[in-house]
Structure 1
Amino acid sequence: MRKTRAQEAIVSNYARTLIPFKARQLCRKAGFTPSDQEDIEQQLWMAVLAQVDNYNPERASLDTMIDCIVDSSARMILRERRTRRRTNSTPVESIDLPICCEEDLESTLADCLHAGDRVRHRGAFSRDEQLLDETREAVEQALQNTPTGVRDVCRRVMGGSILGTSKALGISRRQVRKRLAEAKEAFENSGFGNS
Protein backbone atom coordinates (compact mmCIF):
# COMPACT_ATOMS: atom_id res chain seq x y z
CA MET A 1 0.00 0.00 0.00
CA ARG A 2 1.41 3.40 -1.02
CA LYS A 3 1.77 6.12 1.64
CA THR A 4 -0.04 9.40 1.14
CA ARG A 5 1.96 12.61 1.10
CA ALA A 6 0.57 13.54 4.53
CA GLN A 7 1.82 10.23 5.94
CA GLU A 8 5.22 10.76 4.31
CA ALA A 9 5.40 14.22 5.86
CA ILE A 10 4.51 12.88 9.30
CA VAL A 11 7.13 10.15 9.25
CA SER A 12 9.77 12.39 7.72
CA ASN A 13 12.76 12.65 10.06
CA TYR A 14 13.32 16.15 8.77
CA ALA A 15 9.82 17.29 9.81
CA ARG A 16 10.12 15.63 13.21
CA THR A 17 13.36 17.53 13.79
CA LEU A 18 12.42 20.85 12.18
CA ILE A 19 9.06 21.45 13.85
CA PRO A 20 10.25 21.18 17.49
CA PHE A 21 13.30 23.27 16.56
CA LYS A 22 11.14 26.06 15.07
CA ALA A 23 8.78 25.92 18.04
CA ARG A 24 11.71 26.33 20.47
CA GLN A 25 13.02 29.24 18.38
CA LEU A 26 9.68 31.01 18.56
CA CYS A 27 9.40 30.40 22.31
CA ARG A 28 12.57 32.43 22.83
CA LYS A 29 11.01 35.49 21.18
CA ALA A 30 9.23 38.26 23.07
CA GLY A 31 5.60 37.51 23.76
CA PHE A 32 6.10 33.74 23.98
CA THR A 33 6.87 31.45 26.90
CA PRO A 34 8.35 27.94 26.99
CA SER A 35 4.89 26.62 27.81
CA ASP A 36 3.75 27.76 24.33
CA GLN A 37 6.08 25.26 22.61
CA GLU A 38 3.63 22.36 22.47
CA ASP A 39 0.86 24.57 21.04
CA ILE A 40 3.21 26.04 18.45
CA GLU A 41 4.37 22.57 17.41
CA GLN A 42 0.76 21.53 16.96
CA GLN A 43 0.02 24.61 14.83
CA LEU A 44 3.06 23.87 12.65
CA TRP A 45 2.06 20.22 12.21
CA MET A 46 -1.48 21.30 11.25
CA ALA A 47 -0.05 23.69 8.65
CA VAL A 48 2.14 20.94 7.18
CA LEU A 49 -0.74 18.49 7.01
CA ALA A 50 -3.06 21.08 5.45
CA GLN A 51 -0.64 21.98 2.67
CA VAL A 52 1.40 18.86 2.00
CA ASP A 53 -1.06 17.49 -0.57
CA ASN A 54 -0.08 20.42 -2.81
CA TYR A 55 3.44 18.95 -3.02
CA ASN A 56 4.85 18.67 -6.53
CA PRO A 57 7.96 16.42 -6.69
CA GLU A 58 9.04 18.10 -9.94
CA ARG A 59 9.51 21.43 -8.18
CA ALA A 60 11.39 20.39 -5.01
CA SER A 61 11.91 17.64 -2.49
CA LEU A 62 9.36 16.91 0.24
CA ASP A 63 11.77 18.25 2.87
CA THR A 64 12.06 21.55 0.98
CA MET A 65 8.28 21.81 0.83
CA ILE A 66 8.02 21.08 4.56
CA ASP A 67 10.70 23.69 5.27
CA CYS A 68 8.78 26.34 3.30
CA ILE A 69 5.50 25.49 5.03
CA VAL A 70 7.05 25.54 8.51
CA ASP A 71 8.93 28.80 7.90
CA SER A 72 5.86 30.51 6.52
CA SER A 73 3.66 29.23 9.36
CA ALA A 74 6.19 30.29 12.00
CA ARG A 75 6.27 33.81 10.53
CA MET A 76 2.47 33.91 10.59
CA ILE A 77 2.36 32.79 14.24
CA LEU A 78 4.93 35.44 15.15
CA ARG A 79 3.07 38.15 13.21
CA GLU A 80 -0.23 37.18 14.83
CA ARG A 81 1.29 37.29 18.32
CA ARG A 82 2.88 40.70 17.71
CA THR A 83 -0.39 42.05 16.34
CA ARG A 84 -2.30 40.69 19.33
CA ARG A 85 0.18 42.34 21.70
CA ARG A 86 0.03 45.63 19.83
CA THR A 87 -3.75 45.72 19.63
CA ASN A 88 -4.45 44.18 23.00
CA SER A 89 -8.15 44.59 23.58
CA THR A 90 -7.97 43.88 27.29
CA PRO A 91 -9.70 46.75 29.03
CA VAL A 92 -7.46 48.88 31.19
CA GLU A 93 -8.70 49.36 34.73
CA SER A 94 -7.39 51.62 37.43
CA ILE A 95 -5.71 50.03 40.41
CA ASP A 96 -7.50 52.65 42.51
CA LEU A 97 -10.98 51.23 41.84
CA PRO A 98 -12.55 49.66 44.90
CA ILE A 99 -12.63 45.87 45.11
CA CYS A 100 -14.59 43.71 47.50
CA CYS A 101 -12.61 41.69 49.96
CA GLU A 102 -13.61 39.24 52.62
CA GLU A 103 -16.01 40.39 55.34
CA ASP A 104 -17.50 43.12 53.11
CA LEU A 105 -14.45 45.35 53.55
CA GLU A 106 -13.64 47.50 50.58
CA SER A 107 -10.12 48.21 49.49
CA THR A 108 -8.36 48.97 46.23
CA LEU A 109 -6.12 46.79 44.12
CA ALA A 110 -3.30 49.18 44.96
CA ASP A 111 -3.67 48.16 48.62
CA CYS A 112 -3.01 44.54 47.64
CA LEU A 113 0.10 45.24 45.57
CA HIS A 114 3.58 44.54 46.88
CA ALA A 115 5.94 47.54 46.80
CA GLY A 116 7.88 45.99 43.91
CA ASP A 117 4.65 45.51 41.94
CA ARG A 118 3.66 49.13 42.44
CA VAL A 119 6.94 50.25 40.91
CA ARG A 120 6.80 47.69 38.09
CA HIS A 121 3.28 48.63 36.96
CA ARG A 122 4.64 52.08 36.09
CA GLY A 123 7.31 50.48 33.91
CA ALA A 124 10.13 51.06 36.38
CA PHE A 125 12.02 48.59 38.49
CA SER A 126 12.63 48.77 42.18
CA ARG A 127 16.23 48.84 43.29
CA ASP A 128 17.36 46.12 45.59
CA GLU A 129 19.55 48.13 47.96
CA GLN A 130 21.03 45.02 49.58
CA LEU A 131 22.08 43.65 46.17
CA LEU A 132 23.58 47.02 45.24
CA ASP A 133 25.55 47.11 48.50
CA GLU A 134 26.79 43.56 47.97
CA THR A 135 27.82 44.40 44.40
CA ARG A 136 29.67 47.55 45.53
CA GLU A 137 31.47 45.53 48.19
CA ALA A 138 32.44 42.83 45.65
CA VAL A 139 33.73 45.47 43.21
CA GLU A 140 35.82 47.09 45.95
CA GLN A 141 37.20 43.70 46.94
CA ALA A 142 38.11 42.93 43.32
CA LEU A 143 39.75 46.37 42.97
CA GLN A 144 41.91 45.63 46.02
CA ASN A 145 43.41 42.72 44.04
CA THR A 146 44.68 45.07 41.32
CA PRO A 147 47.84 47.21 41.27
CA THR A 148 47.41 50.83 42.38
CA GLY A 149 47.68 52.28 38.85
CA VAL A 150 45.02 49.89 37.56
CA ARG A 151 42.77 50.65 40.54
CA ASP A 152 43.05 54.41 39.91
CA VAL A 153 42.21 53.98 36.22
CA CYS A 154 39.16 51.84 37.06
CA ARG A 155 37.79 54.36 39.57
CA ARG A 156 38.26 57.24 37.15
CA VAL A 157 36.62 55.36 34.24
CA MET A 158 33.67 54.40 36.47
CA GLY A 159 33.08 58.08 37.13
CA GLY A 160 33.94 59.39 33.68
CA SER A 161 35.32 58.12 30.40
CA ILE A 162 38.43 56.61 28.88
CA LEU A 163 39.34 59.91 27.19
CA GLY A 164 38.83 61.90 30.41
CA THR A 165 40.89 59.37 32.37
CA SER A 166 43.76 59.50 29.87
CA LYS A 167 43.82 63.31 30.03
CA ALA A 168 43.60 63.40 33.82
CA LEU A 169 46.42 60.88 34.30
CA GLY A 170 48.51 62.10 31.37
CA ILE A 171 48.62 58.67 29.70
CA SER A 172 47.39 57.46 26.33
CA ARG A 173 43.95 55.90 25.80
CA ARG A 174 45.76 52.73 24.79
CA GLN A 175 47.44 52.58 28.21
CA VAL A 176 44.04 53.15 29.87
CA ARG A 177 42.55 50.26 27.89
CA LYS A 178 45.54 48.06 28.77
CA ARG A 179 45.01 48.73 32.48
CA LEU A 180 41.28 48.05 32.10
CA ALA A 181 42.16 44.69 30.52
CA GLU A 182 44.33 43.93 33.57
CA ALA A 183 41.40 44.89 35.80
CA LYS A 184 39.08 42.65 33.81
CA GLU A 185 41.35 39.70 34.52
CA ALA A 186 41.37 40.55 38.24
CA PHE A 187 37.57 40.84 38.24
CA GLU A 188 37.20 37.48 36.51
CA ASN A 189 39.53 35.92 39.08
CA SER A 190 37.31 37.43 41.79
CA GLY A 191 34.24 35.67 40.40
CA PHE A 192 32.74 38.26 38.08
CA GLY A 193 31.60 36.69 34.81
CA ASN A 194 31.91 37.90 31.26
CA SER A 195 28.30 39.14 31.16
Structure 2
Amino acid sequence: MKPDTRQSPTPQPHPHSSASPKQLDAFAARLIRRKARQLVGRAGFTRSDRDDIEQELALKLLKQLSAFDPGEAHWHVFVTTVVERYAASLLRDKRAEKRDHRRATSLHVLIETGDNGPVELAETVGRREQDARLGRDPRSDEERAQLAGDVADVLADLPADLRDVAERLKHDSVSQVARDLGLPRTTLLRRMEHVRRAFEGAGLRDYL
Protein backbone atom coordinates (compact mmCIF):
# COMPACT_ATOMS: atom_id res chain seq x y z
CA MET A 1 0.00 0.00 0.00
CA LYS A 2 1.32 3.43 -0.93
CA PRO A 3 1.83 5.89 1.92
CA ASP A 4 -0.72 8.69 2.22
CA THR A 5 1.22 11.72 0.97
CA ARG A 6 -1.69 14.02 1.76
CA GLN A 7 -1.00 14.04 5.48
CA SER A 8 0.48 17.23 6.85
CA PRO A 9 4.12 16.83 7.94
CA THR A 10 3.86 19.73 10.35
CA PRO A 11 2.50 19.76 13.94
CA GLN A 12 0.09 22.43 15.15
CA PRO A 13 2.05 25.32 16.78
CA HIS A 14 1.17 27.42 19.77
CA PRO A 15 -1.30 30.12 18.59
CA HIS A 16 1.09 32.96 19.47
CA SER A 17 4.34 31.44 18.21
CA SER A 18 6.26 33.01 15.36
CA ALA A 19 6.36 31.12 12.10
CA SER A 20 8.38 30.87 8.93
CA PRO A 21 8.26 28.75 5.77
CA LYS A 22 11.12 26.66 7.20
CA GLN A 23 8.62 25.07 9.61
CA LEU A 24 6.55 23.71 6.71
CA ASP A 25 7.10 21.09 4.03
CA ALA A 26 8.84 21.96 0.77
CA PHE A 27 5.63 22.53 -1.19
CA ALA A 28 4.14 24.94 1.37
CA ALA A 29 7.44 26.77 1.81
CA ARG A 30 7.84 27.31 -1.94
CA LEU A 31 4.25 28.48 -2.31
CA ILE A 32 4.57 30.97 0.55
CA ARG A 33 7.82 32.41 -0.77
CA ARG A 34 6.39 32.71 -4.27
CA LYS A 35 3.22 34.38 -3.03
CA ALA A 36 5.22 36.83 -0.91
CA ARG A 37 7.30 37.75 -3.96
CA GLN A 38 4.10 38.31 -5.95
CA LEU A 39 2.72 40.69 -3.33
CA VAL A 40 5.87 42.84 -3.33
CA GLY A 41 5.21 45.88 -5.49
CA ARG A 42 1.43 45.62 -5.11
CA ALA A 43 -0.71 47.91 -2.95
CA GLY A 44 2.39 49.45 -1.38
CA PHE A 45 4.17 46.28 -0.29
CA THR A 46 7.96 46.59 -0.68
CA ARG A 47 10.90 44.18 -0.62
CA SER A 48 11.43 45.02 3.03
CA ASP A 49 7.95 43.61 3.75
CA ARG A 50 8.65 40.22 2.18
CA ASP A 51 9.93 38.46 5.31
CA ASP A 52 6.95 39.72 7.30
CA ILE A 53 4.54 38.55 4.59
CA GLU A 54 6.14 35.11 4.57
CA GLN A 55 5.85 34.86 8.35
CA GLU A 56 2.20 35.93 8.34
CA LEU A 57 1.30 33.44 5.61
CA ALA A 58 3.20 30.64 7.35
CA LEU A 59 1.57 31.37 10.70
CA LYS A 60 -1.89 31.46 9.12
CA LEU A 61 -1.26 28.09 7.47
CA LEU A 62 0.08 26.54 10.68
CA LYS A 63 -2.97 27.73 12.60
CA GLN A 64 -5.24 26.14 10.00
CA LEU A 65 -3.62 22.69 10.11
CA SER A 66 -6.23 21.32 12.49
CA ALA A 67 -8.82 21.91 9.76
CA PHE A 68 -6.97 19.73 7.25
CA ASP A 69 -8.83 16.52 6.44
CA PRO A 70 -6.95 14.25 4.01
CA GLY A 71 -10.22 12.51 3.28
CA GLU A 72 -11.68 15.69 1.79
CA ALA A 73 -8.78 17.40 0.04
CA HIS A 74 -5.22 16.79 -1.05
CA TRP A 75 -2.56 18.53 1.06
CA HIS A 76 -1.45 20.69 -1.87
CA VAL A 77 -5.01 21.87 -2.50
CA PHE A 78 -5.50 22.69 1.17
CA VAL A 79 -2.23 24.63 1.39
CA THR A 80 -2.91 26.56 -1.81
CA THR A 81 -6.43 27.50 -0.70
CA VAL A 82 -5.32 28.77 2.72
CA VAL A 83 -2.33 30.72 1.38
CA GLU A 84 -4.21 32.27 -1.56
CA ARG A 85 -7.14 33.37 0.61
CA TYR A 86 -4.96 34.95 3.28
CA ALA A 87 -2.72 36.63 0.69
CA ALA A 88 -5.84 38.17 -0.85
CA SER A 89 -6.87 39.35 2.61
CA LEU A 90 -3.47 40.97 3.18
CA LEU A 91 -3.78 42.72 -0.18
CA ARG A 92 -7.28 44.05 0.61
CA ASP A 93 -6.15 45.34 4.01
CA LYS A 94 -3.11 47.03 2.51
CA ARG A 95 -5.19 48.72 -0.18
CA ALA A 96 -7.62 50.01 2.42
CA GLU A 97 -4.70 51.37 4.41
CA LYS A 98 -3.33 53.06 1.29
CA ARG A 99 -6.69 54.66 0.49
CA ASP A 100 -6.95 56.07 3.99
CA HIS A 101 -3.38 57.33 3.80
CA ARG A 102 -3.91 58.96 0.41
CA ARG A 103 -6.89 60.89 1.71
CA ALA A 104 -4.69 62.44 4.39
CA THR A 105 -1.59 63.06 2.23
CA SER A 106 -0.81 66.45 0.71
CA LEU A 107 0.80 66.59 -2.70
CA HIS A 108 3.17 69.20 -1.32
CA VAL A 109 5.06 66.80 0.93
CA LEU A 110 8.66 66.06 -0.12
CA ILE A 111 9.58 62.61 -1.35
CA GLU A 112 12.88 61.06 -2.43
CA THR A 113 13.21 60.28 -6.14
CA GLY A 114 16.77 58.97 -6.23
CA ASP A 115 19.63 60.98 -7.72
CA ASN A 116 17.41 64.04 -8.20
CA GLY A 117 16.91 64.44 -4.46
CA PRO A 118 13.65 65.37 -2.74
CA VAL A 119 10.82 66.85 -4.81
CA GLU A 120 7.19 67.65 -4.13
CA LEU A 121 4.86 64.73 -4.68
CA ALA A 122 2.79 66.92 -6.99
CA GLU A 123 5.68 67.01 -9.44
CA THR A 124 5.59 63.24 -9.89
CA VAL A 125 1.90 63.07 -10.80
CA GLY A 126 2.26 64.72 -14.21
CA ARG A 127 -0.44 67.38 -14.08
CA ARG A 128 -0.45 68.49 -17.69
CA GLU A 129 -0.23 64.93 -19.02
CA GLN A 130 -3.09 63.91 -16.74
CA ASP A 131 -5.29 66.81 -17.83
CA ALA A 132 -4.57 66.24 -21.51
CA ARG A 133 -5.39 62.54 -21.22
CA LEU A 134 -8.64 63.17 -19.39
CA GLY A 135 -9.59 66.06 -21.67
CA ARG A 136 -11.14 68.18 -18.94
CA ASP A 137 -10.40 70.86 -16.37
CA PRO A 138 -7.48 70.31 -13.99
CA ARG A 139 -8.29 68.20 -10.94
CA SER A 140 -7.62 69.25 -7.40
CA ASP A 141 -4.38 68.09 -5.78
CA GLU A 142 -6.27 65.55 -3.70
CA GLU A 143 -8.14 64.19 -6.73
CA ARG A 144 -4.92 63.79 -8.72
CA ALA A 145 -3.27 61.96 -5.84
CA GLN A 146 -6.26 59.65 -5.54
CA LEU A 147 -6.30 58.99 -9.29
CA ALA A 148 -2.56 58.32 -9.47
CA GLY A 149 -2.81 55.83 -6.63
CA ASP A 150 -5.88 54.10 -8.08
CA VAL A 151 -4.28 53.77 -11.52
CA ALA A 152 -1.12 52.33 -9.98
CA ASP A 153 -3.22 49.79 -8.06
CA VAL A 154 -5.03 48.63 -11.21
CA LEU A 155 -1.78 48.31 -13.16
CA ALA A 156 -0.16 46.37 -10.32
CA ASP A 157 -3.03 43.88 -10.29
CA LEU A 158 -2.89 43.17 -14.03
CA PRO A 159 -1.14 40.01 -15.29
CA ALA A 160 2.37 40.76 -16.54
CA ASP A 161 1.43 40.64 -20.24
CA LEU A 162 -1.51 43.04 -19.81
CA ARG A 163 0.49 45.37 -17.57
CA ASP A 164 3.20 45.52 -20.24
CA VAL A 165 0.62 46.46 -22.87
CA ALA A 166 -0.89 49.16 -20.66
CA GLU A 167 2.51 50.68 -19.88
CA ARG A 168 3.54 50.72 -23.55
CA LEU A 169 0.27 52.34 -24.63
CA LYS A 170 1.03 55.31 -22.40
CA HIS A 171 3.52 56.54 -24.99
CA ASP A 172 3.22 54.35 -28.11
CA SER A 173 0.50 53.77 -30.70
CA VAL A 174 -1.40 50.52 -31.01
CA SER A 175 0.44 49.69 -34.23
CA GLN A 176 3.82 50.39 -32.64
CA VAL A 177 3.06 48.25 -29.59
CA ALA A 178 1.90 45.38 -31.80
CA ARG A 179 5.13 45.56 -33.80
CA ASP A 180 7.34 45.80 -30.71
CA LEU A 181 5.67 42.79 -29.09
CA GLY A 182 5.44 40.81 -32.31
CA LEU A 183 1.69 40.38 -31.87
CA PRO A 184 -1.12 40.35 -34.43
CA ARG A 185 -3.21 43.47 -34.06
CA THR A 186 -6.26 41.37 -33.15
CA THR A 187 -4.37 39.77 -30.26
CA LEU A 188 -3.25 43.16 -28.97
CA LEU A 189 -6.81 44.50 -29.21
CA ARG A 190 -8.06 41.59 -27.12
CA ARG A 191 -5.47 42.38 -24.47
CA MET A 192 -6.46 46.04 -24.58
CA GLU A 193 -10.07 45.01 -23.98
CA HIS A 194 -9.02 43.11 -20.84
CA VAL A 195 -7.13 46.21 -19.66
CA ARG A 196 -10.16 48.39 -20.36
CA ARG A 197 -12.41 46.10 -18.34
CA ALA A 198 -9.98 46.18 -15.44
CA PHE A 199 -10.03 49.99 -15.36
CA GLU A 200 -13.80 50.12 -15.73
CA GLY A 201 -14.18 47.59 -12.94
CA ALA A 202 -12.12 49.88 -10.72
CA GLY A 203 -14.32 52.87 -11.57
CA LEU A 204 -11.63 54.48 -13.76
CA ARG A 205 -13.47 54.61 -17.07
CA ASP A 206 -12.62 58.32 -17.48
CA TYR A 207 -8.91 57.57 -17.40
CA LEU A 208 -9.01 55.46 -20.57
Normalised by the shorter chain, which TM-score bucket?
A: 0.3 to 0.5
- In terms of Rg, which structure is larger? 1
Kindly indicate whether structure 1 or structure 2 has the higher relative contact order, using CA contacts under 8 Å at least 6 residues apart.
Answer: 2
More helix by share: 1
